[in-house]
Amino acid sequence: MAQKNILQYLLLGLLNQAPKTGYDLKRVFENEIGEFWQAKHSQIYPELKRLETEDLITHIELISGTKLKKKQYTITPSGVSYFNEWRYSPTSEILASKDEFILKLYFIESKNDQHLPAMFAEQTTLHTDKLTHLLARKALVFPNQATITANYGHYLILEHAINREQDYLKWLATADC
């Protein structure tokens, strides 16, 4: 995945919602959008610096407590238009999803391979755990209609993640026999 620099748009989009620090952004990747994009702090901090040199964002320094410095980034007007350009442009390519389990399945030669049941059982556990976690998050973050309306995009993405796990589990159940 070395080509489009989608990270920059995500950072701009997140800063377009509200000013944030690098650490705040890092946490968004760990939580809400982590299901569909990952970024470590070691990638986020340099990218924020680069975006600032491009005048797409600016920062001010805040002090937490007595001496802990943090940089709060804000999107600039040109940052907003650069973000909107991406946001409302066609999304033609379906980005690759890589699935190591499916690849291992590819090398199975027979329906009766003795390893198949254990492999399916393992994935079922894994995806069940993930689904449970996502459902718990949904219940926590969206307890009522007002919270959904206030964070509609986040809701959509979480719903999609839940849907994806449910379908994956359904496939595991039917494929394994």
Binding footprint of a copy of itself on the chain (CB under 8 A): 1, 6, 9-10, 13, 16-17, 32-33, 36-38, 86-88, 90-111, 115, 119, 122-123, 126-127, 130, 149, 152-154, 156-157, 159-160, 163-164, 167, 171, 175
Please report whether residue 22 would count as binding DNA according to CB under 7 A: yes
Task: Report the interhelical angle of 41-53 vs 22-30 (nearest 10°).
Answer: 130
Of residues 104, 84, 101, 93, the one with CA closest to residue 1: 93
171's contact among DNA, a copy of itself, none, with CB below 5 to 8 A by partner kind, is a copy of itself
39's contact among DNA, a copy of itself, none, with CB below 5 to 8 A by partner kind, is DNA
Please report whether residue 26 would count as binding DNA according to CB under 7 A: yes
Give the integer Cα–Cα distance in Å for 38 and 81.
Answer: 24
Give the integer Cα–Cα distance in Å for 39 and 25.
Answer: 9
22's contact among a copy of itself, DNA, none, with CB below 5 to 8 A by partner kind, is DNA
**CA dihedral (82, 141, 41, 15) positive or negative:** positive
Please report whether residue 38 would count as binding DNA according to CB under 7 A: yes
Residue indicated by tokens 């920062």: 59
Of the two residues 46 and 117, which places its CB atom closer to DNA in the complex? Answer: 46
